[in-house]
Amino acid sequence: MSIRTRLTLSYVSFFAIALLTLHTGLYLIVRGVLLNSVDNELRLGVEVLRRGFAESNQTPYGYFRDDQLRAILLRQPPVRDFEATSLYVQFFDADGDLVGRSPNIGEGDLAAALTLDEQRFARALDGAEQITTVAYGNVQIRELMAPLRFFNPVTRREETVGVLQVARSMAEIQYALRLLFYALTVGGVVVLLAAARGGAWLTRAAFRPIDEIAQTAQSIVRAEDLSRRIPVPPAADELQRLTITVNDLLARLEELFNHQRRFIADVSHELRTPLTAMQGNLEVLARGAARDPQLLNESLDDMRREVARLIRMVNDLLLLARSDAGIQIRRDPVELDTLLLETHRELRPLAGQVQLRIGEEDQAVVIGDRDRIKQALLNLGINAIQHTPPGGVVTLSLTIRDGHAALSVADTGYGIAPQDLPHIFERFYRADQSRCHNGGGAGLGLSIVRSVVEAHGGKVLVSSEPGKGSVFTMLLPLDSQPEVNDAELLPPDSEAEAAGYGMLNRSME
């Protein structure tokens, strides 16, 4: 069952419950008003009879006797006055004997229906007025039993001399209630049908934009064209927000797919170079170089270098894949000052004619993976050496700023062009190779730096100016500290603005 059908059924069901509640309440209110009007009419009839009896100065037997009905007609109001009315009247004395009745009762079934009930008669003699409903064929009769009193001048008090029974047929009331019930039932059915039709139309109109979104998304999937977007509805409602969200999702998917294509192409390109070199060396060996010791050693050395390059690339890709998968790193105390000295010793053999030195060196301890932090720092150091010309200077520093340990690698190399800064964080991206005096690597080193630093809850900042050098800073939190301002954490002697942080990826081995 579709959502549209379920919504329509839910709407109609809720409307039916509300309509049933309303009609039931309306029916009960009308019925109560009509019964109250009948009861008031019965009480008025009793009051009229009591007043007429009191003004007649007769005894109940004389006032209500059938043989004096003709004389009573001359008085107001005698029992016979109810002959042409809708009220039926009977009078019973204190012993329960019928004294008189209105002529409209007759001697048939109506008289049998109005037979005196002893329990209600006894309660009426005690002074309690009682209203009840009795059956008369298919018609109900509403009756009121009330005591009849008169003032005894001898005892000087009121005495109960009998019980008046005043009744009224409910035929008109039943007919009116029956018509009301039929009207409410038929009207309710018609309204429910109209509500179902209208609900189906409303849900269809409300879901039309969703159908368009689904159809557009399906066409995008079939065409495999993630550059297409769903038209945004003009109304600022939930559907507009949904469309914007879906378009953002499509843009994100397009970016991811494009990134994946570029990544696969870059990996293929990087793998092709060493494999082609190895294939060439194997062909040289196959043509007889194996019998020449010098050519054999040169070919083997070339293949060893290419294999080592492949191993480094595969290890870097594996590390990045693990980082993307969210694998947890170790959480141990790491003394960064000791780590800085170790990195300096390992980088000195690689520096060549580049001067490698240590700048500021504060003592700092962070919680993290020592090997990963060292690898990131080595990558920054190698990157700086490769992009610094002979005679230049590479400086390793460790400072503490606003609860963060700042590991900085500054060089006096070629710097980074402004158009390259937004892209140096991408994997396999390499700036101008002509400015790298040492060949460069696959372009994964700075991506590893960024993934390691972010895994430790830190940031990587870079500031660079062409011709003056670059400064890369790894910010690692010492403890749970609030966010810091990137501009405040840049080296104070740097005149360049922070160009960004993220996946740093300048070419390195």
Which CATH number fits the domain that encloses residue 313? 1.10.287.130
Residue 307 and residue 337 in one domain: no
Asked which of 157, 176, 195 is the last residue of a domain, the reply is 176
Would residue 185 count as lying in a domain?
Answer: no
The parent domain of residue 280 ranges over: 238-323
- How many structural domains compose the chain? 3
Q: Running DSSP on this structure, what letter comes out for residue 24?
A: H
Would residue 278 count as lying in a domain?
Answer: yes
Provide CB contacts within 8 A for 36, sequence distance 6+.
none
SS3 404: strand
The C-alpha atoms of residue 170 and residue 37 are separated, in whole angstroms, by: 11
How far, in whole angstroms, is CA 262 from its chain's centroid? 37
The C-alpha atoms of residue 159 and residue 142 are separated, in whole angstroms, by: 27
Are 131 and 46 within 8 A, CB to CB? Answer: no
The tokens for 406 are 């700042």
CATH number, domain at 474? 3.30.565.10
The tokens for 451 are 């993934």
Cβ burial, residue 202 (10 Å; 0-12/13-18/19+): middle
Would residue 199 count as lying in a domain?
Answer: no
Residue 98 to residues 109, 163, 185, Cα–Cα distance (Å): 17, 10, 45
Q: Check: pTM over 0.85? Answer yes or no.
A: no
Residue 388 and residue 275 in one domain: no
The C-alpha atoms of residue 507 and residue 445 are separated, in whole angstroms, by: 7
What pLDDT is attached to residue 237?
77
Give the HSE-up count for residue 49: Cα atoms under 13 Å, Cβ half-sphere: 32
Q: Which residues pair with 409 in a beta bridge?
A: 396, 472
Residue 315 and residue 379 in one domain: no
Residue 240 to residues 234, 235, 236, Cα–Cα distance (Å): 7, 7, 6
Nearest alpha carbon to residue 372 among 428, 410, 344, 331: 331
Would residue 11 count as lying in a domain?
Answer: yes
Q: Which residues pair with 93 in a beta bridge?
A: 162
Q: What is the pLDDT along the chain (509 residues), one digit of tens a residue?
A: 677 788 888 888 888 999 899 999 999 999 999 999 888 888 888 888 888 777 776 777 767 654 443 343 334 444 555 544 578 888 888 888 888 887 777 777 787 888 888 888 888 888 888 888 888 777 788 888 888 887 666 566 777 888 888 888 888 888 899 999 999 999 989 988 998 888 888 888 877 778 877 887 788 777 677 777 777 877 777 778 888 888 888 888 888 787 777 767 766 766 776 788 788 878 877 777 667 787 788 888 888 877 877 776 777 677 666 666 555 677 889 999 999 999 999 888 888 889 999 998 888 899 988 888 888 888 888 888 988 899 899 999 999 988 889 999 999 988 888 777 766 766 656 555 444 445 455 566 777 788 888 888 888 888 888 888 899 999 999 865 444 444 444 443 433 333 333 333 333 33
The amino acid that residue 152 corresponds to is N
Q: Identify the residue whose tokens are 């390499």.
A: 430
DSSP 418-472: TTTGGGTTSTT----GGG-TT----S-HHHHHHHHHHHTT-EEEEEEETTTEEEE
Residue 304 and residue 400 in one domain: no
What pLDDT is attached to residue 395?
93
Residue 248 and residue 390 in one domain: no
What pLDDT is attached to residue 179?
92
What pLDDT is attached to residue 79?
53
- Which ranges of 325-436 does DSSP label H, i.e. alpha helix? 336-351, 370-386
The C-alpha atoms of residue 78 and residue 76 are separated, in whole angstroms, by: 6
